[in-house]
Amino acid sequence: MRVIQYRGRDGARRVGVTSDDGHVRTIRGATTTYDLATEAIRKKQSIERIIEDRISNEKDTMTEIISEKRIHVPFHHPDPYHQIITGTGLSHLGSASARNSMHAKLSQDESSMTDSMKMFKWGLDGGKPNATDIGTQAEWFYKGDGDWVVDPEAHLVWPTYALDGGEEVELVGVYLIDEKSVVWRVGYALANEYADHVMERQNYLYLAHSKLRHCSYGPELLIGELPNNVKGKARLVRSNNVIWEEDWLSGNSNMSHSIENLEHHHFKYPEFRRTGDVHIHFFGAATGSFTRNIKTQDGDVFEIESTSFGYPLRNTLSKDNGKEERINVKPL
């Protein structure tokens, strides 16, 4: 099942179930997927069951919702301060050629490896434990809260303090914490983590800075199990011309860490199991136009698609050409 959050032509918020032919059927009495998820937890039912019982005959289409800019991210917390955006890296195996290159580097003695290569090797060695064990933890970063999220089809801003604005082709897991601090996975979505790769390449200790950028996910939320082998295409469009396109892979079959292992190492912190909070967690990227030394420009359009997730995620890069202003803190 796939669902979206959108506005009707009357401006009212709606939740709808999508189909492979692009039709959308509205869910009766629902204005947010957050409310549906909390209802499912309260009633001790699956969210899919809750939705199935309330599908109405009111219809719309993804084509019209997208073209009329009526689409929203498929899940959010009504209070953006209670939505935590995080992610992990060095979690994917990449393409066959990338894997061959990586294995050649991994044949070196660990003492001669970079920190990144060491972490990748640790993931290969211990990132997929059996169901009763705890595996190796992966790279982790903070991305922001709900105010750092933009809707599908909206602009991703290249701020004045940034050196670059590049896509990160990823999936996210969407989670809700119940009143007993139990973590519930609501579903998965396509995602553009969007980061500053030029800044990160200056020094890997700038990673934290490079990640503090807006992001987007959706437009559709996949409810249920994630396919082990997710395939898709990512592209960069400039002036209506595709200047870069590449296949991308995700899912447990294409990862050095299992999703379950990544989830454990995120939610092992009790402070991340706070009642009512929403977590959007990026699972890492295996490709991007920056790996081909492509420099993005104002007006470029990022597109990420996979048949497992319905409609593609699209966002336009919007560069702030103003001058960075110094922030002066005043003493009290």
d(CA 185, CA 165): 30
pLDDT of residue 208: 94
pLDDT at 99 over 50: no
Q: How close are the terminal C-alpha atoms of the chain, in Å?
A: 54
- Yes or no: say if 15 and 218 are a contact pair by the CB < 8 Å rule: no
Q: What is the pTM of this model?
A: 0.94
Catalogue all structural domains in the chain, each as residue range(s) with its CATH number: 1-72 (no CATH), 76-319 (3.90.850.10)
Q: Side chain identity at 57, as an amino acid letter?
A: N
pLDDT at 255 over 50: yes
Q: Among candidates 244, 248, 240, 226, which has minimal Cα distance to 305?
A: 248
The answer to whether the bond into 312 is cis (omega within 30° of 0) is: no
Q: pLDDT of 197-233, one tens digit each?
A: 999 989 989 999 999 999 999 999 999 999 999 999 9
d(CA 293, CA 199): 14
pLDDT at 104 over 80: no
Q: Side chain identity at 245, as an amino acid letter?
A: E
Q: pLDDT of 109-152, one tens digit each?
A: 777 778 888 888 888 899 999 989 999 999 999 999 999 999 99
Query: Which sign, positive or negative, has the C-alpha torsion 73, 77, 83, 88?
Result: negative
Q: What is the 3-state secondary structure (H, E, C) of 66-132?
A: HHCCCEECCCCCCCHHHEEEEEEECCECCCHHHHHHHHHHHCCCHHHCCHHHHHHHHHHHHCCCCCC
Greatest distance between any 2 Cα atoms in the chain: 63
Please tell me which residue, 152 or 106, carries the higher pLDDT value. 152
Q: pLDDT of 155-186, one tens digit each?
A: 999 999 999 999 999 999 999 999 999 999 99
pLDDT at 96 over 50: no
Mean pLDDT of the chain: 94
